């Protein structure tokens, strides 16, 4: 299987079947200070590539953005994160 690469610049995990079971996404949630979908996920993905970007926060210093941009275990399940967290804004 090839490594799936996202095109939009967003974290691809929000549309992945494994998002609530995945240890790499759990690490991204931790870096964002976001609530975890699962307290102890047990799925270890192959070759997740995490893109780290330092951003200027308009006069409030800098922030660090963490996103998975490619992954060997991406399994398309469009909207999975939204279905798990109905009514909440997508993490960014
Ligand atoms: S794309 Fe990879 S890192 Fe992201 S949730 Fe899916 S398996 Fe995990």
Higher-scoring residue by pLDDT: 52, 71: 71
Q: Average pLDDT of 62-73?
A: 89
Q: Which of 43, 51, 80, 45 is nearest to 67 (CA)?
A: 51
Counting Cα atoms < 13 Å in the Cβ hemisphere of 2 gives 3
Question: Is the CB–ligand 1 distance for residue 68 below 6 Å?
Answer: yes
What is the share, in percent, of the chain residues with pLDDT greater than 70? 89
| Residue 45: predicted pLDDT | 97
Find the 59 Cα to ligand 1 centroid distance in Å: 33
Find the 73 Cα to ligand 1 centroid distance in Å: 6
- If one residue of 19, 20, 47 were mutated to test the ligand 1 pocket, choosing by the most ligand atoms within 8 A of its CB, it would be 19
Mean pLDDT of the chain: 87
Say how far residue 25 (Cα) sits from the centre of its chain.
5
Find the 2 Cα to ligand 1 centroid distance in Å: 14
Q: Contact 80/15 with Cβ under 8 angstroms?
A: yes
| Residue 18: predicted pLDDT | 98
Higher-scoring residue by pLDDT: 42, 89: 42
pTM for this predicted structure: 0.85
Question: Is the CB–ligand 1 distance for residue 16 below 6 Å?
Answer: yes
| pLDDT over threshold 50, residue 13 | yes
Q: Which of 59, 61, 65 is nearest to 32 (CA)?
A: 65
């Amino acid at each position: 299987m090839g490594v799936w690469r996202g095109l939009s610049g967003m974290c691809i995990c929000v549309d992945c079947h494994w998002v609530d079971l995945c240890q790499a996404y759990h690490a991204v949630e931790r870096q964002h200070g976001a609530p975890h979908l699962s307290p102890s996920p047990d799925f270890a993905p192959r070759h997740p590539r995490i893109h780290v970007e330092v951003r200027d926060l308009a006069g409030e210093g800098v922030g660090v953005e963490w996103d998975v941009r490619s992954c060997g275990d991406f399994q398309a399940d469009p909207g999975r994160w939204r279905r798990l967290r109905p009514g909440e804004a997508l993490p960014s």
